[in-house]
Chain A
């Protein structure tokens, strides 16, 4: 009888979760859409995301149309009437191409989401490992520091940091980040979520640390670093992966909020959050400018969350019973991980 490894077993479970895979497909489609921004901008729209066209006119539907009329009203969606230019219309009185901004804005939002999630995951895992493994005063020090951050509501803390750093930027020794740098937003979002990952990791490490395989490794003379890397980390991998996916969703949502409030991505760079904010000024005359970025945020966060949920169900052994009921696995498969 062949033994099926845990990763293969997880993949089988995931494969059977059509909802999760469906939303993964949606997420991939959104990513591809955003990655195609330079192609669309250069080959179809022939403009950049920040290029203004306030006084320009275009040929569309057999007539000449102003991108922004004298009353400051931007042109609406042209779809294919202008050969793809201003496909979704102009974004406001600056006359920027809404479709191009939506695609580039998505790149910014995704970039920040992934980078911040990576930062949270790396820092959270490191701190959780150190605190859980060593215990004693390192654990006290790290846990109390995390408690200080945890004491602040995440949103308020992020907004406060954004307000301060958006003006003066960040200077740490030779490192200087200007207020408009995306790294400011990444560092803020990545940092405020660290306790929400570090503490669960610490909890798992505390439990794993008492297991026999750790004792055995210690008895064989393995140092703390080796134990954490080769014994503990592999056992945390499924948790880390799921957390990472969820962190991406949280980070994108927080980025949208910060940018909407003007303390995240700084204009004229676009993210879906900044587009949501600037679209509000034209809510009555051009509601699409608000609905579109809002819908993209909604779909992306939903897709990531649902997929992450499915991933957790696939990777977490404790949810085997639930998956079995849905997937029709045999008892032997489910209990032993043994291929039929």
Chain B
């Protein structure tokens, strides 16, 4: 005989369990929603071939995928290179000169166009056509240097087969960092016909989980889910997650205090900008552990000095400036978020061995200036207008004036700063402020970009000191060919010292970066990649 009451009870229990499980969700957070974020300045570019700032890289990390990418993970895990559009890590042969990869099958751009192997070649060629500041990373590809000059004829060192998805890259010589460079945003694969111009206002189609849907240059931009991520790319690429939120709205809010207020009042979910020094400690004390977390990207804050122009063409002047800068003062200007350093390789970077060739000594600095007796004492000091970098610039200007120079500070809007100082036609590029965040966790990244003579470019210049020492260039090039090991790390440490003896820059500290979210975001889920910053796919509402 049936017992309807018992059956009913079982049904209710089963239904209740199903509801309970559904409510918990598979990831213990809410899926969907719109993430609102704020930046203090608009990224230099929203074009993966051109952007060379943390703001731009954070913005496009989950939008444009290269053949390889950096693991979407925190800390040291996030510095590992993993396959993205490529099926697997490259096969390296011919003594480190040949790289072979295979494109995953079935990939599509966000406009539905299939991703082809030949798109990688045209994307790299586009880097040179737009005179990208990152193009020098790929100049070791056979034929790339000639293509950089002529912009004609393609790069013969990249061979592709759209049928099989095979991509073969031949280098002029072995390059120990090339795998890292294939993971950079510069190498993001774009459709073959992508115009060779700045596409910030109308970004190209995406391959990542999010696509940029609307841009108001200087003011805001928006993302939506890439419709072809779920259908095609997502199932194929297991190293990049789909993301939790459906939409992302980013707006530029110039004032740091306003950004903090908006987070505190839950009007914005996340601020990309480091918190202004005035509020840093207050926010940290109030929200650490719940909505605030200190991140440790590898970076270097410094003042560059143009070694091709008086008075900084004189070694004694450069050394004097190094002696004159007091890291303790700069620590206060950065309200405790800066760790003082006086060398090129920061702590955490392989090859870092602490030393200080120029401990603060104003008397010695003045003595060196007296010995150098520079004729040209008019100096323009460049800085961006974001606090406290502009105050660091003002402090630097004061130090130069104390040394007997006639220094004038020039503050440039953060949106344009790197573009302006990286353009050799800008007049009076004497000295200025700079922050350099690692492109990848390899010491060559610092030396190649900032100190190799080969990196000096008419636009998008990263070697702002314009130092070009053939012997040291050769050392950089030699070390670049070798895979990184203890021997190479020791050589990089020695190179650090050799460059600091020439004092082309005044390094003064490494900065921490906070992740600050509002109460609705699960902070524990937010991933901070040491190279790309906060991972947009990791933001999830509670």
Contact = CB atoms under 8 A, between A and B. Distances in A.
A225 interface: no
A70 interface: yes
B328 interface: yes
Given A93-B391, A267-B394, A268-B397, A262 B277 contact: no
A262 B413 contact: yes
Nearest to B261: A284
Contacts of B336: 70-72
Top 7 nearest A-B pairs (CB, nearest first) are A72-B335, A54-B329, A93-B333, A72-B277, A52-B398, A268-B394, A281-B387
B257 interface: yes
A50 B279 CA distance: 24
Contact of A94 (B256, B281, B394, B428): B394
Nearest to B258: A280
Given A93-B332, A93-B333, 14 more contacts: A54-B332, A55-B329, A70-B332, A70-B336, A72-B277, A94-B398, A179-B410, A180-B408, A180-B409, A266-B410, A266-B411, A267-B394, A268-B397, A280-B255
Interface in A152-181: 166-169, 178-180
Interface string B219-237: 0000000000000000000
Contacts of A266: 408-411
A190 interface: no
Interface in A30-88: 50-52, 54-55, 68-73
B335 A50 contact: no
Interface in B310-369: 326, 328-329, 331-336
Nearest to A66: B332
Interface string B247-283: 0000000011100000000000000000011111110
Interface in B404-455: 408-413, 420, 426-428
A29 B162 CA distance: 80
B395 interface: yes
Contact of B390 (A51, A267, A286): A267
A50 B398 contact: yes
A68 B328 CA distance: 11
B374 interface: no
B409 A284 contact: no
7 contacts: A51-B398, A72-B334, A92-B391, A179-B410, A268-B394, A281-B387, A284-B278
B239 interface: no
Interface residues of B, number: 39
A141 interface: no
B75 interface: no
B415 to A, nearest CB: 11
A93 B408 contact: no
Interface of A: 50-52, 54-55, 68-73, 92-94, 166-169, 178-180, 262, 266-268, 280-286
Contact of B409 (A73, A169, A267, A282): A267
A281 B276 contact: yes
A54 B277 contact: no
Nearest to A283: B257
B391 A94 contact: yes
B325 to A, nearest CB: 12
B459 interface: no
Nearest to B337: A72
Contact of B410 (A55, A92, A180, A282): A180
A289 to B, nearest CB: 10
Contacts of A268: 394, 397-398, 409
B385 interface: yes
Given A266-B411, A281-B257, A281-B387, A72 B332 contact: yes
Given A52-B394, A72-B336, A262 B411 contact: yes
Nearest to B326: A55
Contacts of B278: 72-73, 281-286
A262 B388 CA distance: 15
B257 A284 contact: yes
A94 B394 CA distance: 8
A55 B420 CA distance: 32
A284 B282 contact: yes
Contacts of B335: 71-73, 93
B170 to A, nearest CB: 43
Nearest to B330: A54
Contacts of A286: 278
Contacts of B409: 180, 266-268
B427 to A, nearest CB: 7
Given A55-B332, A93-B335, A280 B257 contact: yes
User: Could you say which of A52, A169, A282, A285 has the most chain B C-beta atoms within 10 Å of its C-beta?
Assistant: A52
B74 to A, nearest CB: 27
A69 B256 CA distance: 21
Interface in B142-183: none
Contacts of A68: 332
A146 B315 CA distance: 54
B410 A52 contact: no
B385 A262 contact: yes
B279 A72 contact: no
Contacts of B420: 167
Nearest to B255: A280
Contacts of A168: 427
Contacts of A73: 278, 335
B424 to A, nearest CB: 14
User: Could you say which of A54, A72, A166, A285 has the most chain B C-beta atoms within 10 Å of its C-beta?
Assistant: A72
Contacts of B395: 52, 54, 94
Contact of A54 (B282, B333, B401): B333
Given A180-B410, A268-B397, A93 B385 contact: no
Contacts of B411: 262, 266-267
Contacts of A166: 410
A72 B333 contact: yes
B46 to A, nearest CB: 21
Interface string B486-500: 000000000000000
Contacts of A93: 277, 332-333, 335, 388, 391
A94 B393 CA distance: 10
A26 to B, nearest CB: 32
User: Could you say which of B395, B398, B427, B428 has the most chain A C-beta atoms within 10 Å of its C-beta?
Assistant: B398
Contacts of A54: 329, 332-333, 395
User: Could you say which of A70, A94, A166, A178 has the most chain B C-beta atoms within 10 Å of its C-beta?
Assistant: A94
Nearest to A282: B278
Nearest to B399: A52
Contacts of B408: 178, 180, 266
Contacts of B279: 284-285
A251 to B, nearest CB: 22
A70 B385 CA distance: 23
B244 to A, nearest CB: 33
A135 B411 CA distance: 46
A268 B257 CA distance: 22
A303 B99 CA distance: 74
Nearest to B256: A281
Interface string B269-300: 00000001111111000000000000000000
Nearest to B393: A267
Contact of B333 (A50, A94, A262): A94
Nearest to A180: B408
A72 B277 CA distance: 7
A179 B412 CA distance: 11
A178 B427 CA distance: 10
A167 B255 contact: no
Interface string B466-481: 0000000000000000
A73 B277 CA distance: 9
